[in-house]
Structure 1
Amino acid sequence: MTVPNTPPDPAPADAQAPGPAAAPDPFAPPHGATALGAGTTPLGERLRSEAWVGASVVLACLVVGLVMSGLWAWLAPKVPLVVDGDRILYGDPEGEQRAGADAVFVLIGLGAGIVTALGAFLMTRRRGGGISVAVGLAIGGLLGSIGAWRIGRWLGPSTDLIGEARRVGDGGHFDASIDLGAMGALLVWPMAAMVVLLLLSAAFGKREEDPPPYWAPVAQAPAVPSVSPPAQAPTGTDFSAGPR
């Protein structure tokens, strides 16, 4: 007597045909990414990179400030003075040399702000700029203006009026030292750099891809079908005999 054919064991529940695919969650992150982002640069390395960029911008501004001091000492109009006995008088009492020195400083600072902002933008455009570029331009522009003011005074005519009067003698002429009458001129460079950097970033800055709309489907990981092993016939089963 042979054992009747027995049906194979039912497939486990996990191996059954999947039902209808569930609708993808539009707010779920893409496959392989996490909510905080995968593969991002460590915070410490990013801070060091930003600090290095900002320090480089400040150093470049200080170098430009040295050039600005020489230009100001050379181009600023000088106030003529005359020695009259024991008095020092203005050679041109109605002259506008003091205001002219301020105007020259403002114009040179405006040009320095444009040059430094353009250079910083071109050097950091590939990396997308960053807050360090703006902070470096603001700090570097202010320090560069202060340095140009102080070094320009040192490069210009002497501040020792008594010594200069004794040197030229009675009836002699000499120039007074250059100085700023309006200290707000020191802010022209950093303010101009900020405005130019903003305009360049808005017009030619690196663009980030717009995120997809919330209704767009998010790519999900392809489902891996589970393969169940083929069912084997029970041992000792005689297939040659038909059903009884």
Structure 2
Amino acid sequence: MKKLITLLIITLFFSCHNQAQVNPKQQEVINADPIVVPIENGKARAYFASGCFWCVEAIYESINGVDEVISGYAGGFTKNPTYEKSNTGRTGHAEAVEVIYNPEVISFATLVDVYFGSQNPSQVNGQGPDHGSQYRSIIFFQNDEQKKIIEEKIALLEKQLNTKIAAEVYPFQKFWVAEAYHQNFEKRNPNHPYIKSVSIPRLNRFKAKFPELLKKDNK
């Protein structure tokens, strides 16, 4: 009886955290036409989800040509998502980042290389210790050229690694900025247990892998 109850609890937990991806409203997001974010003052914007946004924000901020990275939510069907709502797995959103960059210094293709090179590309519904649809990997495109770049890199990675790449490919729709306390979280909280045990090791692994891309003060 105890085993049966445990099984039911586990089943309910995972169905709760994965229902966003089978929701008809989620399918509408996946099938939508991408929205193009115009270049402003010479700066372009790109959007990525790859586990905890504290980690991803720190990785992209270390890259030469990136001006700013903002943590938030994207990929879902719910308006005005919050951290608490997103963590239920029912909003469709994943923790994501907005990367504001200079396309004269770094290309979208290189940002995609950073994306796949800074995560476990085969981990489904999460990264590292973080599990659930709100931590799933999504890479967003704004036009056919970006979609082609993403699909070609996924195909090459799958061939090289001989495994299925877990990242979902979505047309960009909207980015919702996260609460203020999430912004620059790793920099402001270097002694936080999660930052020390997960974020900083992930950042250091990335730095060792892509030293040529780093800003001078991040090497």
Q: Which structure features the higher share of strand residues?
A: 2
Q: What TM-score does the superposition give when structure 1 sets the normalisation length?
A: 0.24
- TM normalised by structure 2 equals 0.26
